[in-house]
Structure 1
Amino acid sequence: MLELRSLTAGYDRRDPVVRDVSLTVAPGESVGLLGPSGCGKSTLARVAALLHRPDRGRVVIDGEPAHGWRHRAPAHGWRHRAPRAQRTAFGVVFQQPRLSADPRLTLTQLISEPLRATGRAAEAAETVRELARTVGLGEDLLGRRPHEVSDGQLQRACLARALVLRPRWLICDEMTAMLDASTTAALVTAVENYRADSGAGLLAVGHDKVLLERWCDRTVHWGELTRV
């Protein structure tokens, strides 16, 4: 179970964008989080993935509270202080692939980043080829850098990177917002195939009500989380 318990978070303690929000995602469940731009849902997604330290509240992963809490530490350093088992439990895909991809890396290097970071570089070649097929990314593109591929191709690579450590939880934050319908369908299918194979849970954040309701087991509206 992924549990977000009474979370308050933001970038200014005097004016948090997330206030006392709780949400749960069961193992194997897909939950859509629907809300307008700027409401705080992306901040909540970052807290869920241990990428942003909350001001109050707790993230509980499979019954274990997220560790590495340091009240005086920078919010962005929270994930790095968590044990590896908790850090690698999450795969995250963001809305804008060009902001989450190092422009100096080839797509092969981009996808294999988490393997190298966890001392598993020897697995990279075969794993990258397999994941490229999974997300519909042609092998002829793997030697290219981000500026040499389209947004859709780069987002496929970012999804492959999110899956490379076989996470138990996927956080997709507006993953398809900038993509055409065919690429959106391909990425959603790749996520669902992975979930069917692995039993991973999913938190999908977005503002497309039709997509989330078709994709997810249940959809939660932001207003339902923040209603007093």
Structure 2
Amino acid sequence: MLELRRITAGYDRRAPVLHGVSLDIAPGEAVGLLGPSGCGKSTLARVAALLHRPDSGEVVVDGTPARGWRHRAPREQRTAFGVVFQQPRLSTDPRLTLAAAVAEPLRATGRRAEAGPRTAELAEAVGLTPDLLTRRPHEVSDGQLQRACLARALALRPRWLVCDEMTAMLDASTTAALVGVVEDYRRQTGAGLLAVGHDRDLLERWCDRTVTLESLTAPPGGPRAPAAGR
């Protein structure tokens, strides 16, 4: 279970964008998160994936409270997540080939021996041909680069996927292909999914249930959430 308990978070403690938000996702469940631009959906996604420390509240991953954020999170918790962001060009190193970008999590966790076979396996799954793997981000389209970003997110076989507006910049055929890859992975592994977006039709077709950020927010005057740990 992935549990977000009364999360208050933002980038300025004086003006948080999330106020007492709670959400539970069961293993194998796909949850769509809807909301207008600027409402805090991406912030909640980053908190859920242990990439942003909330001002207060708690994240519980498979029964264990989060004990750190970003690189301070224990490896077991940190690598439980695969994340795909909206803008692939902002989330990839422009110096790396697509093959190196896909293999980056494996190398970072000391699993270099797996990098070649795993990269080839994932490239085939997401629809990247061998010639594309030798190119750098500026030499491929947004759709091709987002395929590499999805492959990178799956490299460590995560138990939880967070897709933050993953398809917002893509055409319909690429969107369908990438959603299909995510669903194949989930069927094979039982991974849970938090899919953030503003396209209600897509999320309702894709996910087991769809919620709005507003519906997850605690009413004013509710019990105070504990401060988040480091």
Confirm or deny a common fold (TM above 0.5).
yes
Letter in 1 for 2:180: T
* Cα distance in 2 for residues equivalent to 1:165 and 1:7: 27
> Which whole-Å deviations, capped at 9, do the CAs of 1:7-48 have from their partners, x for residues lacking one?
000000010001000001000000000011000010000000
* 1:89-168 to 2 correspondences below 5 Å: 89-168=80-159
Within a 5 Å distance, the mapping from 1:1-228 to structure 2 comes to: 1-68=1-68, 78-226=69-217, 228=219
Taking structure 2 as the reference length, the TM-score comes to: 0.94
In the alignment, the residues of structure 1 paired with residue 50 and residue 175 of structure 2 have an alpha-carbon distance, to the nearest angstrom, of: 26
Counterpart of 2:60, as a letter, is V
Query: Tell me, what secondary structure is at the counterpart of 1:95?
Result: coil
TM-score between the two structures when normalised by the length of structure 1: 0.95
Give yes or no for contact 2:35–2:41 (8 Å, CA) kept in 1: yes
One-letter amino acid of the counterpart of residue 41, structure 1: K
Task: Show the counterpart of 2:228.
Answer: none
Structure 2 CA distance for aligned equivalents of residues 224 and 84 of structure 1? 32
Q: Distance in 2 between matches of 1:227 and 1:60?
A: 18
Q: Partner amino acid for 1:114?
A: P
Tell me which of the two structures has the higher relative contact order, counting C-alpha pairs closer than 8 angstroms and 6 or more residues apart.
2
Deviation track 1:109-153 (CA, whole Å, cap 9, x = no partner) reads: 000000000000111111101000111111110000000000000
SS in 1 for 2:107: helix
Structure 2 runs not aligned, ≥5 long: 220-230
Structure 1 distance, partners of 2:45, 2:10, is 12
Counterparts of 1:81 and 1:224, CA distance in 2: 31
Q: Could you tell me how far 1:99 is from its partner in structure 2?
A: 0.2
Distance (whole Å) between structure 2 residues aligned to residue 225 and residue 48 of structure 1: 14
CA RMSD across the alignment: 0.7
Per-residue Cα deviation, 1:202-228 (whole angstroms, up to 9, x for no partner):
000000000000000000012211262
Distance 2:90 2:57 in 1: 28
- Partner AA of 1:186 in structure 2: A
Secondary structure at 1:24 match in 2: strand
State the AA in 1 paired with 2:129: G
Moved over 6 A (4+): none
The percentage of counterpart residues that share the same residue type is 78
Tell me, in whole angstroms, the C-alpha distance in 2 between the residues paired with 1:227 and 1:32. Answer: 19
**CA distance in structure 2 between the partners assigned to 1:227 and 1:182 by the alignment:** 38
What amino acid sits opposite 1:67 in the alignment? R
